[in-house]
C-alpha cells in the first residue's frame, strides 16, 4: 500500500486523537530523518504506522501475540497496553503490507526502545515523545531541542524522564526500558533539570 492509502485507512481505524498523534509522529520523524540524513519516506511510514494497533482492546492485543507466538512478559500481562508496539509490527506487515524489516523493527520497539537501536528505531522512539501534540512531559522543550542536536543523548534523556516519571507514580517499569536506559546512560548529558 502507498503511504496515502495507509493514511486513509488509519484515519478510519484510529480515534481522532490517536490519528492526530500519528500524523504528528510521521511529520516529526520526517524532520529527524532530514536532520540525521536518513530515508525520509521510510521514517514517515514507520511514524505513520507506529500506533496502528493502539486502539485494539487488551484482549485483542494478547490474542494477536499468542497467535503469532510473540512472548508476553509478566509486566505486559499486567499492562497489556504495552503490547501495541509488538502487535503494531504484526498489523503493519499483515494488514498494511509493510515488508521492510527495519520499519517493522522500529514499530516493535517504539515504546520501550532496545539495546543497540538502529537510527530509524531512535527516530521513531524520539518522534513519538516529542511530536507537536505532546504537552505533558516535564522537560519537553529541552528534549525537543536536544533531539536535533544529539539523538543518542536525547534517547538517554527520554528514558531517564520516563523511568523517573513512572517511579514517582509507582508505575510498572518494563524491564526492557530499564535495560535500555542502562545501555544508553553513557550518552546522557548533564541537564539542569536533573540536578
The cell for 118 is: 538502529
Please give the chain's pLDDT, 195 residues, in tens: 899 999 999 999 999 999 999 999 999 999 999 999 999 999 999 999 999 999 999 999 999 999 999 999 988 988 888 899 999 999 999 999 999 999 999 999 999 999 999 999 999 999 999 999 999 888 899 999 999 999 999 999 999 999 988 888 776 788 899 999 999 988 887 766 665
Amino acid at each position: 500500500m502507498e503511504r496515502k492509502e495507509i493514511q486513509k485507512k488509519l484515519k478510519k481505524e484510529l480515534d481522532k486523537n490517536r490519528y492526530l498523534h500519528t500524523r504528528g509522529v510521521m511529520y516529526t520523524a520526517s524532520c529527524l530523518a532530514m536532520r540525521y540524513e536518513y530515508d525520509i519516506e521510510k521514517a514517515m511510514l514507520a511514524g505513520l504506522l507506529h500506533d496502528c494497533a493502539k486502539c485494539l482492546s487488551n484482549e485483542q492485543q494478547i490474542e494477536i501475540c499468542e497467535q503469532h507466538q510473540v512472548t508476553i512478559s509478566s509486566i505486559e500481562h499486567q499492562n497489556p497496553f504495552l503490547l501495541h508496539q509488538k502487535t503494531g509490527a504484526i498489523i503493519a506487515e499483515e494488514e498494511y503490507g509493510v515488508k521492510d524489516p527495519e520499519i517493522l523493527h522500529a514499530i516493535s520497539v517504539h515504546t520501550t526502545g532496545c539495546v543497540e537501536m538502529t537510527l530509524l528505531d531512535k527516530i521513531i522512539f524520539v518522534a513519538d515523545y516529542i511530536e507537536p501534540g505532546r504537552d505533558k512531559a516535564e522537560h519537553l522543550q529541552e528534549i525537543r531541542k536536544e533531539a536535533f542536536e544529539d539523538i543518542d543523548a536525547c534517547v538517554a534523556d527520554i528514558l531517564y524522564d520516563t523511568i523517573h516519571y513512572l517511579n514517582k507514580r509507582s508505575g510498572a517499569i518494563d524491564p526492557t526500558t530499564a535495560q535500555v536506559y542502562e545501555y544508553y546512560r553513557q550518552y546522557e548529558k548533564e541537564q539542569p533539570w536533573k540536578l
